[in-house]
Structure 1
Amino acid sequence: MTFFWDRISCFSYFQNFRRTFSSNPNLFHHNNLLFSRLQKLSNLPKLRRIFFEEYFRRYKMGMMNTMRTKMHFVLWALLIMFLGSMTVGGLVGGADILDEIFGLFGVSDDDPQKSIAVVNGELISPDMFFQVVQNRRQTARQEGQELSERENDQLYDEIWNELIQITLIDQEVEQLEIEVTDDEVYYELESNPPQIFQSVPDFQTDGSFDNERYLAALHNPQGDEWLYWEAFTRDYLPRKKLFDRVRYSVTLSKDEVWQEFITRNVDHTLSGLAIPTSSIRGDEFNATDEEVTAFYTSHLDDYLQDETRMLRYVKWDKKPTAEDTSDTKQFGTDLIRQINDGADFTTLAEIHSADPGSAVKGGDLGWFGRGRMVPPFEEAAFKAKSGDIVGPVESRFGYHIIWVRDRRGEGDDEELQASHILLNIEMGPSTRSRLKREATQFLYEVEDNGFGKAVEISDASLDSSRQFTENSPIPGFGFSQVPTRFAFRSEINSVSDIVETDNSFAIFQLMEINEPGPQPLEDVRKRIERDVRQEKQMARAEEMIGEVYEELLTGKSFAEVAETYDEVKLIEGKERKLSTALPYVGSRNPRLLGRIASSEPGELFDPFEGQRSWVILRYNSQGEIDEVEWLVQKDFIYDELLIKRQNEAVNAYISELTDNAVIIDNRRYHIR
C-alpha cells in the first residue's frame, strides 16, 4: 500500500497545526510569536516530545472529553495524552521541536548565562531544562507527590544528564547520516502500534486490543489525525535505527546458551580447600609507615578526587519547645471536648491522626492484649472502661486520644478493642519564627563583626565539616544541595544566606577550596593500611596454597591436609548449581566456570584466587542433563542473554559517547 502522507513543507505542516488549535488562544502565551517563527523555517523540523508536553498539556483534558465522537477526535486525543505524558529520556525518545522554534538547542552564544550545558559545541538552553523540570514536578503533583529538597536535586541531575544524552544521540544520528523513509515510518506504525492505543476501547474487541480495528483506522484516515503520529515516528526512528545498529552487533553462540543452561540447571559436586585472608593473622601483616607511603605513591590514581570544599556553620535545630508540647496537649484536650459534645471520633481520626496505618481506618487499632502497646498507652487504656475516651496520653510518639470500644477475656488473656488519634509534638509557628529571627540576627552580627565574632557574641554552637565533593553529603550536616551549591559557587570566606532544611536553619562560611587531585595521605591512611594488610595476607595465602597443593598431589585427602594447617578451611562436597554461591568462591566465578567447562569429573584444579582467599577444588561429579528441559528453556535463555548483552552494549555505547564528548556544565549559573 502506498504511503498516504506526502512529504510536506514545514510551513504547510504547521499551518495545519495552527488551524487545529487557533480556536484556543490560551494554549500558549506566545501563540503568534510561535507561528511567526515556525513559518520562517524552511524544512520540516524534528518533532520532539517536550514541545507536545508543554503545548498540549493545557489542552489534552478538553480533547479527552470528545474522544468518542468520531475516530478523528479519538486519534487526536490519544496523541495529546500520549505525548503529554511522556518525558525526556530513554533510548528512542528525545528533545523536542522547541530547539528549533525557541532556540533551546544550538544557541550560538558562548555566554554561560545562555546555556545550561554545552555538548561538543552545541548549547542547551536553560529554558529547555527548566521547562522539563516544571513538567516533571507537575506530573509528580498530579500523582499526589510533593518532591523533597533531595528529590528535587536528584530531578535536576536526572534531567540534565538526559538532555546531555539526547544531544549526543542526535549528534551521532546526524554524523552517521541516519535517515528514515516514508515506507519505514508507515511500517513502524503498522507493525508497532503505540502502546497507548492498545488500551483504548475504540481499538478493542471484547476488552482486548484488536489489531484489525487499529489497522482499519490507520488505512482509512478521516483527516489529518495521523499526521502528528507520523511526524513523531519520523523523529524517533533515526534514534531507534542507531541503537538497532548497536544491538545487532551483539552475537551469542549456541555454546554460550548451553553453558548458561548448565550453570542454571545442572547440579555439580565440588569439594576443596580454601585459605581466606581472615585466617591469616599476625602483626607482621600490619602495614608499616614506609609501606603505606610506598603504596600511596604507586597508587595515586586510586585516590584522585574532584574539587572539595570545607565549611563551618551555625545551625538552629527545629525542635519543639515546651510551649509546642503544651499546645499539642491542649489541642488533644480540645478534640476530646469535641468528641464528648458529639463529634465523630473516626472522622476526627481520619483528619488529625499522625498514625497512617490506623488513620485511614478511623483510628481503629483492632484487638490487642497487654505488651502490644507502649507502656503509657497500655496503662491508660487497660485502666479505662468500655466506651471511655482517655487522654491526652503522652508517649515517645506524641499524644494519644484513646477510645476503648470493647474488652474481652480476663487476667493475662484480657484484650481491648480500641481506636486512637495520634498527635505528633512538632515545632509550632512561634518557635519557627523565633529560630528564624535568631538566624537573621546572627547574619546581622556577621555583617557588622565577621563570622567568628558573631559566633562569640551570639553564643551559638559552631560546627565544621570535613572535605566533601559536589556530589557527596556534607559531613556532619547531611545531604542538602543548597549549602553544597553555595560552597562550590562562592569565594573563600563567603557567608551564605539562611539555609532552611527539614531539620534546621543554618548559616555557612566557606573555609577551604581544594582543587582536584589525590586525596591527602592522612585522609586515606586507614584505607591504605587495610589494603596493604590485605595484599600481604593474600601473598601469604598464595604461598601456603602452593604447599597445600603439593601435599594433595602426594595422595593426601582434603580432610587430612585441613587438619595440618590452622589457616586451611574445608569446602564440603555438596551438590550445587553453579549459579549459587560456593564458599570462598562466590557464584558464577568466571575462573571456576571456565575450568568446569573444559574439564571432566574427577579432576583436581590448580589453585586459583577466590573471594579474599586462595582455593583448590576437585570437580567430583556432574548431575544428569535433562534434554527435555533444555528444549524448553533454550530459546528463553537465548532471548534473555541476548537482551541483556544488547542493553549492556547500548549503555556502553552511550557511556563512550559521553566519555569522548566535550561537555561544559553551566548549572552553577542557573541553579541556586
Structure 2
Amino acid sequence: GGADIIDIITGKNPNIIGVINGTEITYTQFNQAYINELDAYRQRTGTEPAESQIGFVRNQVWEGFVQDILVQKAIQEKGLAATDHEILWRIRNNPPENIKRNPSFQNDQRQFDMAMWQSALNDPNYPDQVWLQVEAYLRQTLPYEKFQQQLQAGVRITEDEIKREYLKQNQTVKVNYVFIDPQKIADKDIKIDDDTLRDYYKNNKDEFKEEEKRQIQYVVFQTKATTKDSSEIRALADDILQRIKGGDDFGELAEIYSEDPVSKDKGGALGFFAKGDMVKAFEDAAFSGKPGETVGPIQTQHGLHIIKVEEKKTENGEEKVNARHILFKFTASRETLDKARDDAEYFAEQASEVPFKELSKNIGQTPQGSTFFIKGNGFVPGIGLNKRASGFIFSGNIGETGDVVESPQGLFVFKISGIQDERSKLFDEVSAIIKNKLKREKQNALAAMKAQKIYEKINSGTSFETIVAEDSLEIKESTDFLRTGYVAGVGREPKFIGAAFSLDVSGDVSKPVLATRGCYLIQLAQKKAFDEADFNKQKKQIASRLLQRKQSQVFANWYTEAKANADIKDFRSRFF
C-alpha cells in the first residue's frame, strides 16, 4: 500500500505494527502471537473462529503486548528483580504451577506431591536442563509477582463490605406492586403541536448529527474449492482409505492428514459418544460399523471423514461408540488460491485506468454496491470487520481502488463510489422521532403524577388495596428475589429492586418508582432477616472473593492510567 512505500522512502521500518513508549512491536511478533491465539481458540472450541471473533482476538493480542510492555517498564523503574536466594527458595518450597501440574510430580489422586519434587531435586542424575528452565521462568515471573504485591499492598476489605456482599448474595424480598403503564395514557391527554417539535429540534440539533458516510462498489474473486479441488480431495481420501485397508496405522495417518484440530494430535481419537452427539451422517456410519472396522469416506458439512470404530458399549441403557476419524476439508488448492490472487491483483491494478463497471464486465462479473455506511468500528458491508479496508475507504477519494482484501467469502477488490459529508438531519426527517420521544416523556410524567396521587392517599391512611381497587389497578405479587436477581413481570430493573430492598417493614409502600417500562408502587410483603450464623460461615469465603476482585480492579485501574499516559502508536490498520 501507499503507507508502506512512504515508510520505505523515509527509512522507517514497514514491518512495525506498533510502538509503545519507544518499544517496537513487529508484524512478525504480532502475527505469531495472533496465530498462537487462534490455535488456542481452535483447541478450546474445536471450531474455526467466526469473522466477528477474529477482530476480538486481534484486539486481545494487541492489549497483551501493550500490557506486557507497560508492566515491564514499571518493573524496571522500580528496580524489581529476582535474587538467586529467592529463586532457590521458590524452587525448593513453592515451585511454579506448571511444575505442580506435571504428572511426574503428582500422586495417584493427581495432586502435587512435594516429596516427589524434593526427590527429583536431590537426584544428581536429574537433567540439568530442567532446573535451568525453572530458574529462567522464575527469574522472569518473580519481578512481576513483586510488582503485583506492591500494587495491591494497600488493598483491604472492611466488615461492612463483607456484610453488604453477603446481603447482596443471600437476602431476599417478596413484594406486592402496582404497575402504572404509560402506554395506556390516552392520546387525547397528550398535546404536542408543531411549534413544540420545532423548538425541540432547534435546541437539540446535536442529537440529529449524522457522521460522514461512504459507499463502495466491489467484486469478489472466489477462494472456495473448485470442482477439480473437490475431486482431488475425494481421491486423496480414497487413497488413504486403501492405505488403511492395506495395513497402514490409522493413528499415524490421522496425525499427518486429518484437518480436525482437536483430534488430529491424538491420532484422530474422539472417545466414546452417544447418538445425537455427532452430525447424523457421521453417527449413522459410526454406529453401523463393527469394532475394528473402517468406514467411509462419509460426507458431512465439515468435509469427508474416514471413521475407524474402536469399540462399542451400552451405558445406562444407551449405546455408545468409541471411534477415530480422519477429516478432509473441501478447501481450495494452492493453484486455485494463487489464480484468485493473481486475478484479483490484476483487476485492482487495472481498475485505476479502466472503469470499474467495464472491467467487471470483461471478467463476467457484475459489481455489487453497498449502501452508505459510517466508519464506526471498521465494519465494511460485504467484506465484514476490516479496519485496514475501512481506513482506506474513509481516507481516499471517490474513484480510488483499494488493495485486495481477504475474507472468508473470497478476495475483494473495491472502489470508493460515493461520499456523503457529515450533516445534521433535516427537521422533516426526524419530526416523527421527536414526536414519539416527547409523547413518551409526557406519558411517563402523567403516569408518575397518577402514582404520586395514589401514594399521597396511602400516606393519609387509606389502605394500598382499597386505593388500587378504586383506580381499577391490579396488585401483582412477586416471588422471592435477590438484589442481583430477576423479577418476573419486571425484569432486572435496578430502580425497582433498589426501592424494594429499601423497605424494611412489611406493609410499607415505596414512593413512586419511575423505571424503564413505566411507574411502580411497591409494597413490602416479606424481607429475609440477616442471618448472623450463616454470615459467619460464609464470611471468610466472601472476604477472599472480594479481595481478589479488588486486587484485580487495582491492577485494571493502574493499567488504564498507565495506558492513558503512554506514548502508543498503533499501525494495525496498515496490516489488517
TM-score range, shorter chain: 0.5 to 0.7
Q: Equivalent residue for 2:509?
A: 604
Counterpart of 1:449 in 2: which secondary structure? coil
Query: How far apart, CA to CA, are the structure 2 residues paired with 1:364 and 1:671?
Result: 38
Is the 2:378–2:387 Cα contact (8 Å) retained in structure 1? no
Is the 2:298–2:304 Cα contact (8 Å) retained in structure 1? yes
Query: How far apart, CA to CA, are the structure 1 residues paired with 2:236 and 2:68?
Result: 54
**Residue among 370, 384, 389 paired with 1:478:** 384
TM-score, normalising length: structure 2: 0.66
Instruction: Give the letter for the 1:316 counterpart.
Output: F
TM-score, normalising length: structure 1: 0.58
Query: How do 1:94-133 residues align onto structure 2 when only pairs under 5 Å count?
Result: 124-125=22-23, 127-128=24-25, 133=30
Q: Equivalent residue for 1:206?
A: 115
Answer yes or no: is 1:431 the counterpart of 2:431: no
What is the aligned residue count? 532
Q: Equivalent residue for 1:468?
A: 374
Q: Equivalent residue for 1:76?
A: none
Instruction: Give the letter for the 1:478 counterpart.
Output: G
Is the 2:168–2:483 Cα contact (8 Å) retained in structure 1? yes
Q: Equivalent residue for 2:401?
A: 495
Instruction: Give the letter for the 1:626 counterpart.
Output: D
Is the 2:172–2:483 Cα contact (8 Å) retained in structure 1? yes
Counterpart of 2:351 in 1: which secondary structure? helix
Query: How far apart, CA to CA, are the structure 1 residues paired with 2:191 and 2:234?
Result: 59
Instruction: Give the letter for the 2:33 counterpart.
Output: R
Counterpart of 1:618 in 2: which secondary structure? strand
The C-alpha deviation readout for 1:493-545, integer Å capped at 9, x for no partner, is 32123222333011121345677887899999998787666545534543443
Is the 2:310–2:321 Cα contact (8 Å) retained in structure 1? yes
Answer yes or no: is 1:538 the counterpart of 2:444: yes
Query: How do 1:313-352 residues align onto structure 2 when only pairs under 5 Å count?
Result: 313-343=218-248, 348=253, 351-352=256-257
Is the 2:225–2:333 Cα contact (8 Å) retained in structure 1? yes
The C-alpha deviation readout for 1:525-584, integer Å capped at 9, x for no partner, is 99878766654553454344335546656745559837965xx66431433333322346
Change (3 A) 1:534 1:361: farther
Query: How far apart, CA to CA, are the structure 1 residues paired with 2:529 and 2:519?
Result: 30
Change (3 A) 1:424 1:615: same
Change (3 A) 1:113 1:526: farther
Q: Equivalent residue for 1:618?
A: 523
Instruction: Give the letter for the 1:133 counterpart.
Output: F
Comparing 394-403 and 483-492, the one that deviates more: 394-403
Answer yes or no: is 1:136 the counterpart of 2:45: no
Instruction: Give the letter for the 1:473 counterpart.
Output: F
- The alpha-carbon deviation at position 667 of structure 1 amounts to 1.9
Instruction: Give the letter for the 2:22 counterpart.
Output: I
**Residue among 484, 492, 500 paired with 1:579:** 484
- The alpha-carbon deviation at position 446 of structure 1 amounts to 1.4
Instruction: Give the letter for the 1:479 counterpart.
Output: L
Instruction: Give the letter for the 2:468 counterpart.
Output: V
Query: How do 1:223-242 residues align onto structure 2 when only pairs under 5 Å count?
Result: 241=150
Change (3 A) 1:510 1:367: closer
Is the 1:365–1:420 Cα contact (8 Å) retained in structure 2? no
- The alpha-carbon deviation at position 313 of structure 1 amounts to 1.6
Instruction: Give the letter for the 1:561 counterpart.
Output: V
Query: How far apart, CA to CA, are the structure 1 residues paired with 2:273 and 2:78?
Result: 68
Counterpart of 2:228 in 1: which secondary structure? helix
Q: Equivalent residue for 1:509?
A: 415
Query: How do 1:132-211 residues align onto structure 2 when only pairs under 5 Å count?
Result: 133=30, 136=33, 157-158=59-60, 205-206=114-115
Query: How do 1:319-398 residues align onto structure 2 when only pairs under 5 Å count?
Result: 319-343=224-248, 348=253, 351-352=256-257, 374=280, 378=284, 392=297, 394=299, 396-398=301-303
- The alpha-carbon deviation at position 315 of structure 1 amounts to 0.9
Change (3 A) 1:662 1:575: closer
Query: How far apart, CA to CA, are the structure 2 residues paired with 1:602 and 1:449?
Result: 80
The C-alpha deviation readout for 1:50-88, integer Å capped at 9, x for no partner, is xxxxxxxxxxxxxxxxxxxxxxxxxxxxxxxxxxxxxxx
**Residue among 547, 550, 571 paired with 1:667:** 571
Instruction: Give the letter for the 2:386 counterpart.
Output: S
Is the 1:266–1:623 Cα contact (8 Å) retained in structure 2? yes
Counterpart of 2:511 in 1: which secondary structure? coil
- The alpha-carbon deviation at position 320 of structure 1 amounts to 3.0
Query: How far apart, CA to CA, are the structure 2 residues paired with 1:164 and 1:414?
Result: 51
- The alpha-carbon deviation at position 477 of structure 1 amounts to 2.3
Query: How far apart, CA to CA, are the structure 1 residues paired with 2:309 and 2:152?
Result: 66
Instruction: Give the letter for the 1:439 counterpart.
Output: A
The C-alpha deviation readout for 1:380-432, integer Å capped at 9, x for no partner, is 996x99998765555555445567899999xxx99999876554333334433
- The alpha-carbon deviation at position 617 of structure 1 amounts to 0.9
Query: How far apart, CA to CA, are the structure 2 residues paired with 1:155 and 1:356?
Result: 18
Answer yes or no: is 1:631 the counterpart of 2:529: no
Unaligned runs of 5+ in 1: 1-108, 214-224
- The alpha-carbon deviation at position 472 of structure 1 amounts to 3.3
Query: How far apart, CA to CA, are the structure 2 residues paired with 1:458 and 1:419?
Result: 45
The C-alpha deviation readout for 1:442-494, integer Å capped at 9, x for no partner, is 23541431323323333423233442326332233212344234335544432
Query: How far apart, CA to CA, are the structure 1 residues paired with 2:74 and 2:429?
Result: 42
Is the 1:403–1:420 Cα contact (8 Å) retained in structure 2? yes
Instruction: Give the letter for the 1:509 counterpart.
Output: K
Instruction: Give the letter for the 2:381 counterpart.
Output: P
Query: How far apart, CA to CA, are the structure 2 residues paired with 1:317 and 1:286?
Result: 58
Change (3 A) 1:476 1:630: same
**Residue among 451, 465, 468 paired with 1:561:** 468
**Identity in percent:** 19
- The alpha-carbon deviation at position 605 of structure 1 amounts to 0.9
- The alpha-carbon deviation at position 370 of structure 1 amounts to 11
Query: How far apart, CA to CA, are the structure 2 residues paired with 1:244 and 1:407?
Result: 55
Is the 2:310–2:322 Cα contact (8 Å) retained in structure 1? yes
Change (3 A) 1:414 1:326: same
Comparing 348-357 and 613-622, the one that deviates more: 348-357
Is the 1:291–1:532 Cα contact (8 Å) retained in structure 2? no
Counterpart of 1:268 in 2: which secondary structure? strand
- The alpha-carbon deviation at position 271 of structure 1 amounts to 1.6
Q: Equivalent residue for 2:351?
A: 446
Query: How far apart, CA to CA, are the structure 1 residues paired with 2:386 and 2:375?
Result: 12
Is the 1:170–1:239 Cα contact (8 Å) retained in structure 2? no
